[in-house]
Amino acid sequence: MSRRKLVVGNWKMNGLKAQLAEVEAIGRVAAEHPAVEVGLCVPATLIMAAAERKGAAFIGGQDCHMNASGAHTGCLSAEMLAEAGAEWIIVGHSERREAQGETDEHVAAKAFAAKAAGLKVILCVGESLDVRDAGDAESVVSAQLLASLPEGAAADWLAIAYEPIWAIGTGRIPTMEAVAAMHAALRASLASRIGGQADAMRILYGGSMNGDNAAELMALADVDGGLVGGASLTAEKFAPIIAAAG
């Protein structure tokens, strides 16, 4: 099964209007690599302006509410994000699971709401260092994935991002063997739930991906792209990762 590589920047809580020039530059890099699907998940305040300057990249958001509307002060619905110009949305990032107390059930509900609003979804999973050190990473992350998987999960609107929490923003990554084993385990878990769709579903790696390690990571059989934080903030740092994918 050949899966089109998906390389997505997660700007987290970074980016003001001045950074729209980087969006434009990254959109131009994306145009040079048509074999790769490239996107930027920017802060919600930038989605509308970024969508006008995205070039060949897509623009996405970083979270949405699980409800379509209502009394949820400060929250944004999937429909609002889609109207602003988002095409994809990240759900279940470990920073939200930890700091905002999001559970697997919340994540599945958010993914389902996003799909209902016409968004595509990147669903994040990953283990803590304690779990990794205890040798339980594959079983814990597989269970987390199955518990977070929305109803109707299918490869044309859902991608998975495996992000070991201890690798995010730290400059540390697992061994290539460990990444390969995890991605194979996650694909097997997906197959147990969604059958043939598992073959087509993209499974991204995230956590300190950069221009030096991206090619080796994305050459692994079940690594179908990357979710990139720090190294996606400028075209200069993001371009080599995009090039490594295609």
Catalytic residue at 72? no
Which two tokens mark 48?
A: 């509308």
Contacts of 22 (CB under 8 A, 6+ apart): 233, 234, 235
CA atoms within 13 A on the CB side of 48: 4
User: Nearer Cβ to ligand PGA, position 149 or 161?
Assistant: 161
Would you mind telling me the total number of residues written for the chain in this entry?
A: 246
At which residue do the structure tokens 């998906």 appear?
6
Piece of the chain touching ligand PGA by CB under 6 A; list 152-160, 175-183, 203-211, 238-246? 203-211
User: Nearer Cβ to ligand PGA, position 211 or 246?
Assistant: 211
Q: Which position among 19, 62, 189, 208 is part of the footprint of ligand PGA (CB under 6 A)?
A: 208
Q: Which position among 27, 92, 150, 206 is part of the footprint of ligand PGA (CB under 6 A)?
A: 206
CA-to-CA distance for 143 and 50, rounded, in angstroms? 36
Alpha-carbon Rg for the chain in angstroms: 17
Show the site string, 95-134: x = touches ligand PGA by CB under 6 A, - = not.
Answer: ----------------------------------------
203 touches ligand PGA by CB under 6 A:
no
Q: What is the DSSP letter of 220?
A: S
CA-to-CA distance for 91 and 69, rounded, in angstroms? 18
62 touches ligand PGA by CB under 6 A:
no
Catalytic residue at 163? yes
CA-to-CA distance for 93 and 76, rounded, in angstroms? 16
By CB under 6 A, the residues from 150 to 189 that bind ligand PGA are 163, 168-169
7 touches ligand PGA by CB under 6 A:
no
List the catalytic residues: 93, 163
| Interface positions with ligand PGA (CB under 6 A) | 10, 163, 168-169, 206-209, 227-231
